[in-house]
Structure 1
Amino acid sequence: MEFILTSAMMVVISAFIGGVTNYIAIKMLFRPYRPIYLFGKKLPFTPGLIPKRRDELARQLGKMVIEHLVTPEGIKKKMEEVSFQQKIQSFLLQSIDAWLAKQKTLTELLEEYGVSNSKEMITTRLERAIEKSILHFFNTDQKVSHFLPQEWKKNIELQIPNLAEWIAMKGVQYVESDEGKQALQRMIDDFLQQKGTFGGMIQMFLGNLNIADKIQLEAAKFFRHQGTIDLIYSILFKEWSRLLDMPVSEVTSRMDKDKTSLSIAKLISEKIRIYETLDKPISELVQPYKQAITEKMLPAVISSSVLYLQNSVEQIMKAFDIDEIVTAQVESFSVERLEEVVLTISKREFKMITYLGALLGGIIGFVQSIIILFI
Structure 2
Amino acid sequence: MLFRPYRPYYLGKKQLPFTPGLIPKNQERLAKRIADTIMGSLLTPEELQNLARRLLKTERVQGAILWLLQLGLDQVQADKEQKTAKILGGILRDLLGQSMPRLLKVLARREDFLETQLNQIFDQVLLEFQLTEDQASKLSDWLLQVVLPPDVVRQALIDFLTDRNIQIIDEGFREKASGTYWVVANLFGLRNSLTRLRTFCLDEREASNTRIAELILSLAVKQRLREWLQNLSLQNLPVSTVRQLRKTMRDSVRLYVQNRGAEVLQGLSKSIDWENIATIVLSRLRNSAVVNASLETVSQELALVLERYLERDLESIVAQAIPILDIDQVIIDRVKATSAADLEGAIQGIVRSELQAIVNLGGILGFVIGSFQSISFLLR
Q: TM-score range by the shorter chain?
A: 0.5 to 0.7
What is the DSSP-based 3-state SS (H/G/I as helix, E as strand, rest coil) of the residue aligned with 1:33? coil
What is the DSSP-based 3-state SS (H/G/I as helix, E as strand, rest coil) of the residue aligned with 2:162? helix
The alignment status of 1:85 with 2:57, answered yes or no, reads yes
The alignment status of 1:143 with 2:108, answered yes or no, reads yes
**Offset, 1:85:** 2.1
The alignment status of 1:260 with 2:268, answered yes or no, reads yes
The aligned counterpart of 2:331 is 326
The aligned counterpart of 1:345 is 350
**Offset, 1:155:** 2.5
Structure 1 unaligned spans of 5+: 1-27
Take 1:346 and 1:146, find their aligned partners in 2: how far apart are those partners? 84
**Offset, 1:205:** 2.6
**After the TM superposition, which residues 128-277 of structure 1 pair with which residues of structure 2 at under 5 Å, given as runs?**
128-133=93-98, 136-137=101-102, 140=105, 142-143=107-108, 145=110, 148-156=113-121, 158=123, 162=127, 187=156, 189-195=158-164, 198=167, 201=170, 205-206=189-190, 233=242, 236=245, 239-240=248-249, 242-243=251-252, 246=255, 248-252=257-261, 258-263=266-271, 265-266=272-273, 274-275=279-280, 277=282
Residues 30, 351 of structure 1: CA spacing in aligned structure 2 closer, same or farther, 3 A cutoff?
Answer: farther
Contact 1:63 1:323 in 2 (8 A): yes
Take 1:374 and 1:38, find their aligned partners in 2: how far apart are those partners? 55
User: Quick one: which of 31, 44, 47 aligns to 1:74?
Assistant: 47
Residues 291, 130 of structure 1: CA spacing in aligned structure 2 closer, same or farther, 3 A cutoff?
Answer: same
What is the DSSP-based 3-state SS (H/G/I as helix, E as strand, rest coil) of the residue aligned with 1:205? coil
Take 1:40 and 1:374, find their aligned partners in 2: how far apart are those partners? 59
State the AA in 1 paired with 2:323.
K
Give per-residue Cα distances to partners, 1:98-143, cap 9 Å, x unaligned. Answer: 869xx957341x34xxxx2447635753563345237734983552
Higher relative contact order (CA 8 A, sep 6+): 1
Take 1:135 and 1:345, find their aligned partners in 2: how far apart are those partners? 69
Q: CA RMSD in A?
A: 5.3
Contact 2:32 2:332 in 1 (8 A): yes
Contact 2:10 2:16 in 1 (8 A): yes
**After the TM superposition, which residues 100-111 of structure 1 pair with which residues of structure 2 at under 5 Å, given as runs?**
104=74, 106-108=76-78, 110-111=79-80
The alignment status of 1:59 with 2:59, answered yes or no, reads no
Matched length: 320
What is the DSSP-based 3-state SS (H/G/I as helix, E as strand, rest coil) of the residue aligned with 1:64? helix
Take 1:325 and 1:352, find their aligned partners in 2: how far apart are those partners? 33
Contact 2:122 2:246 in 1 (8 A): yes
Take 1:364 and 1:38, find their aligned partners in 2: how far apart are those partners? 45
Take 2:121 and 2:110, find their aligned partners in 1: how far apart are those partners? 12
Q: Answer with 197-206 or 313-322: which moved more.
A: 197-206
Structure 2 unaligned spans of 5+: 174-187, 198-214, 216-220, 222-227
The aligned counterpart of 2:322 is 317
TM-score (norm: length of structure 2): 0.60
**Offset, 1:197:** 6.7
What is the DSSP-based 3-state SS (H/G/I as helix, E as strand, rest coil) of the residue aligned with 2:2? coil
Take 2:312 and 2:61, find their aligned partners in 1: how far apart are those partners? 16
Residues 127, 39 of structure 1: CA spacing in aligned structure 2 closer, same or farther, 3 A cutoff?
Answer: closer
**Offset, 1:320:** 0.8
**Offset, 1:310:** 2.2
Take 2:98 and 2:313, find their aligned partners in 1: how far apart are those partners? 38
**Offset, 1:64:** 1.6
State the AA in 1 paired with 2:267.
K
